Amino acid sequence: MYDIVIIGAGPTGASAALFAAKAGKKTLVIDNDKSITKRAWIENHYGVMEITGPDLVEMGKKQASKFGAEIKTGTVQNITKTDSGFTVESEAGTFEANHVILATGLSVDLAEKIGVQTKPGTEPRVQKIVDVDPQGKTNIEGIWAAGSVAGLSLHTIITAGDGAKVAINIISQLNGERYVDHDVLKS
């Protein structure tokens, strides 16, 4: 049983996985390797002078893996509610989770298939988004959404931050108190 299964390993999903794994939560990321970021050239991401989208995606996965997140390649076909959480069915296998984060970029197909409410998008060329509250919760308890699929700007710096925010909200819920991750310089 995973604490958190994240669907998507672009900036949103990898950032969520980084925070979740670093907080000691058993974390799995399932990625279909179709992130729109893989087509990007990035010079507007704080802390990075310039980077290709593919390099940013790979760096994010490596950071999450460093803290123990598992990353599997495959497409998620279905998510079903169980007595103890969710069953996530994918090409990479079937997994049990307490919480699921949809970090599926421009795709709402899986969300709609499992009954997550969507609404019209507001970003240019984004037709639909997942309807979330300010914490990232969807209409299904335990299923969250972050990043572009949740209506945020397509900029990687914004979607990465939203992935972190949603992960922190889940970690806080799991811990029963507000979670903060602040490291300090070692002397």
**CATH code of residue 106:** 3.50.50.60
Beta bridge partners of 51: 42
- pLDDT higher than threshold 90 for residue 45: no
What's the one-letter identity of residue 143?
I
**Proportion of the chain above pLDDT 70, given as a percent:** 100
Q: Report angle CA 11, 16, 20 to the nearest 5 degrees.
A: 150
CB atoms within 10 A of CB 108: 23
**What DSSP designation does 131 have?**
-
Q: Does residue 80 lie in a domain region?
A: yes
- Give the residue, 182 or 170, on which the prediction is more confident: 170
List the domain range (segments joined by +) for residue 168.
2-175
Q: Where are the alpha helices (DSSP H) in 85-147?
A: 109-113
pLDDT at position 35 is 87
Q: What number of CA atoms fall less than 13 Å from residue 104's CA on the CB side?
A: 22
* The pLDDT value given to residue 24: 98
Q: Is residue 79 included in any domain, yes or no?
A: yes
Total domains, the chain: 1
* Confidence band of 137 (pLDDT split at 50, 70, 90): very high
Strand partners, 118: 130
How far apart are alpha carbons 29 and 17 in whole angstroms?
7
Whether 181 maps to a domain, the answer reads no
Is 54 within a domain?
yes
pLDDT in tens, 77-109: 999 999 999 999 999 999 999 999 999 999 999
